[in-house]
Structure 1
Amino acid sequence: MTLLTPDAAREAQVVADTRRWLERAVIGLNLCPFAKSVYVKNQVHFVVDFGTEPEALLSTLEAELRALAQADPAERDTTLLVLPDALSDFLDFNDFLGWADEVLERLALDGELQIASFHPQFQFAGTRPDDISNCTNRGPYPTLHLLREASIDRAVEVFPEAELIYERNIETLERLGHEGWAALDVEAHRTTP
């Protein structure tokens, strides 16, 4: 029997929480019709960074963007960079996304890769914090989803009315309601750092 170090145990919990959210919410509710195929083929790479300083997180982001760009898409189609100890305030996270996009542009990878985001307190402009529609972009931890533009293009060919996904997701969540969302148990199951 192998015992995990405290850091390894925390990382395993963060990845387990993220997988549960993917399986139950993103794939289970079909919030992203493109997610299931890459997930079942084990083409999703999980990276957990316990850092808290934006500069260090941007360095990790840069390394992961480079790694994804160089990886064989059949092996790694997408990366989830999970930041469990950083950017807990959604407005700080939103500011960080601007810096993340600057890294993407500096690496000349915009047009090849893009960054999507998820956050436990995600809130669309013009909504109340408790609007169920915000759950479409709520994950257990602040997370950057690094994905290939080519994958998006292929997915849109299969699902040509991709612009309707957002509206369909809101309808799904409104039917589910807050109780139904809570029953999915997709929140973080935090262990002590």
Structure 2
Amino acid sequence: MNEFYKELITHTDNWVKRVIMKYNICPFARQEIESNTIRYLVIDETKIAKLADKLVEEYQYLDQHPEVETSLMILANGFGDFNRYLGAVYLAEDLIEDLGYEGTYQIASFHPEYCFEGEDFDSATNYTNRSPYPTLHIIREASIEKALENYNEPESIPERNIAFTERKGAAFFIELLKSCKSN
């Protein structure tokens, strides 16, 4: 693996640990970090058709490796524009349906310029889904269902995260994301 890829993975791992886990944005992340069941991979494809091939490969990889709980596909090039990135998200979701993986996998999306529909770009709320790099998160649905069985009021997670990000403010998260890019 080249140094550039290692750096992207390190920064993304820092983000998972320093933001997602530390501030409990995803209350299920700690277990996967401690169990070392997160797969990080860098995708260097810029063409949507080539990205489709990589997504199919990753779904198949997860099929064959049940010990891997979840995959974070870091899109190294070509998806820095948020609208173009959304096309990659829709592609990943469409492939799940087309390949018969509904109920098996789902996609969570993260991007440095993530902006929820109806939110101002600078709203702190967007930081629940902002990451150092464009990232497609492939999640096993069975794992989500199992985790939710032991979690009181899972529907409160998004509201809690929004309240937290608004309380901390965008400036806090800007600095926090910058810190993730330091080794």
Q: TM class by shorter-chain length?
A: over 0.9
Q: Which residue of 1 aligns with 2:171?
A: 179
- C-alpha displacement at 1:189, in angstroms? 3.9
Q: Please state if 1:101 is matched with 2:93.
A: yes
| Number of residue-to-residue matches in the alignment | 182
Q: Secondary structure at the match of 1:76?
A: coil
Q: Which residue of 2 aligns with 1:135?
A: 127
Q: Which residue of 2 aligns with 1:110?
A: 102
Q: Secondary structure at the match of 1:162?
A: coil
Amino acid paired to 1:138: R
What is the TM-score of this pair, normalised by structure 2?
Answer: 0.94
Which of residues 31, 54, 63 in structure 2 aligns to 1:37?
31
Q: Please state if 1:53 is matched with 2:47.
A: yes
Which of residues 2, 5, 10 in structure 1 aligns to 2:4?
10
Q: Secondary structure at the match of 2:72?
A: strand
- C-alpha displacement at 1:70, in angstroms? 2.3
Contact 1:90 1:121 in 2 (8 A): yes
Distance 1:187 1:38 in 2: 22
Q: Secondary structure at the match of 1:114?
A: strand
Distance 1:125 1:185 in 2: 22
Contact 1:120 1:141 in 2 (8 A): yes
- C-alpha displacement at 1:188, in angstroms? 6.9
Which of residues 74, 78, 86 in structure 1 aligns to 2:78?
86
CA deviation string 1:76-124 (max 9, x = no partner): 0001011021211111111222221121112111111111110111111
Contact 1:122 1:138 in 2 (8 A): yes
Contact 1:17 1:186 in 2 (8 A): no
Contact 1:140 1:187 in 2 (8 A): no
What is the TM-score of this pair, normalised by structure 1?
Answer: 0.89
Contact 1:119 1:138 in 2 (8 A): yes
Contact 1:141 1:188 in 2 (8 A): no
Q: Which residue of 2 aligns with 1:169?
A: 161
Amino acid paired to 2:136: L
Q: Secondary structure at the match of 1:48?
A: strand
CA deviation string 1:42-76 (max 9, x = no partner): 0000110111111111111110011112212xx20
Contact 1:24 1:186 in 2 (8 A): no
Distance 1:77 1:33 in 2: 15
Q: Secondary structure at the match of 1:13?
A: helix
Tell me how large the CA RMSD over aligned residues is. Answer: 1.6
Gap regions ≥5 residues in structure 2: none
